[in-house]
Amino acid sequence: MPKAASKPAIDLKRVLGVVLGIAALTWWTLDRAEYFIARSILVAYGDFETTFRGAWFEWDGDLYAKDFRIVDEETGETALRAEYVVAETPGWFWVLRNLIFQKRQHRIKVDRIHLELLGVEAHADLGDPSLGDLGPFSADAASPWDGEGCSDLIGFSRFQLTELGLSPGPARLVFDYDINGRDLDARVLLEVPGVSQVRLTRKEELLGGSNALVLDHLETRIHSERLEIEDLGFVAARNRHCAAAAGIDEATFVQRHIDSLQRIFAHYGLGVDTASVGLYREFAARGGSLVVDLRYVPPLESMDFYALRQSMEVLPRLSLNLQRAGRSVGVQLAQVRERPLDGFDSALSTWRLIEREQEALARSAGTGSGRALVSLGGSGGARSGRSVQPARAQSGPSAASAASPTLAAADALDAVPASRPEAPADGASDPAWQPEFRDPSALQWDELKPLVGEQLRVFTRHSGGRVVELIEHRSSELRVRAALGGGSAEYTIQREAFQFARKI
User: Model confidence over 334-390: pLDDT tens digits?
Assistant: 888 888 888 887 788 999 999 998 888 888 776 543 333 222 333 333 344 444 444
| Domain count along the chain | 2
If phi > 0 it is left, if psi is from -120 to 50 it is alpha, else beta; for residue 142 that is left
Task: Tell me whether residue 463 is in a domain.
Answer: yes
Packing angle, helices 274-286 and 234-246, rounded to 10: 90
| 133 shares its domain with 263 | yes
| 477 shares its domain with 339 | no
Task: Tell me whether residue 58 is in a domain.
Answer: no
Whole-number pLDDT of residue 28? 59
DSSP 191-202: EETTTEEEEEEE
| 128 shares its domain with 209 | yes
Whole-number pLDDT of residue 106? 59
Per the structure, the complete domain to which residue 268 belongs is given by 112-415
What does R_g of the chain's alpha carbons equal in angstroms?
A: 26
Whole-number pLDDT of residue 368? 44
Whole-number pLDDT of residue 391? 42
Whole-number pLDDT of residue 77? 84
Out of 398, 415, 432, pick the residue that ends a domain.
415
pLDDT tens column, 115-149? 999 999 998 778 889 988 998 899 999 999 999 99
Whole-number pLDDT of residue 347? 80
| 364 shares its domain with 222 | yes
Task: Tell me whether residue 259 is in a domain.
Answer: yes
Whole-number pLDDT of residue 13? 67
Rounded CA separation 471/454 (Å):
8
133's enclosing H/E stretch is: none
Task: Tell me whether residue 18 is in a domain.
Answer: no
| 385 shares its domain with 467 | no
Whole-number pLDDT of residue 54? 84
Closest by CA position to 434, among listed 488, 503, 356, 494: 356
Q: What is the SS3 assignment for 345?
A: coil
Low-confidence ranges of the chain (pLDDT < 70): 1-11, 13-30, 100-106, 366-441, 460-465, 483-489
Task: Tell me whether residue 497 is in a domain.
Answer: yes
Whole-number pLDDT of residue 18? 60
Q: Give the CATH number, domain containing residue 457.
A: 2.30.30.100
Whole-number pLDDT of residue 206? 94
Is the peptide bond preceding residue 298 cis, with omega within 30 degrees of 0? yes
Burial (CB < 10 A; 0-12, 13-18, 19+), residue 62, is middle
Which residue type does 194 have? Answer: G
CA 211 to chain centre: 27
Query: What's the half-sphere exposure (Cβ side, CA atoms, 13 Å) at 186?
Result: 23
| 287 shares its domain with 225 | yes
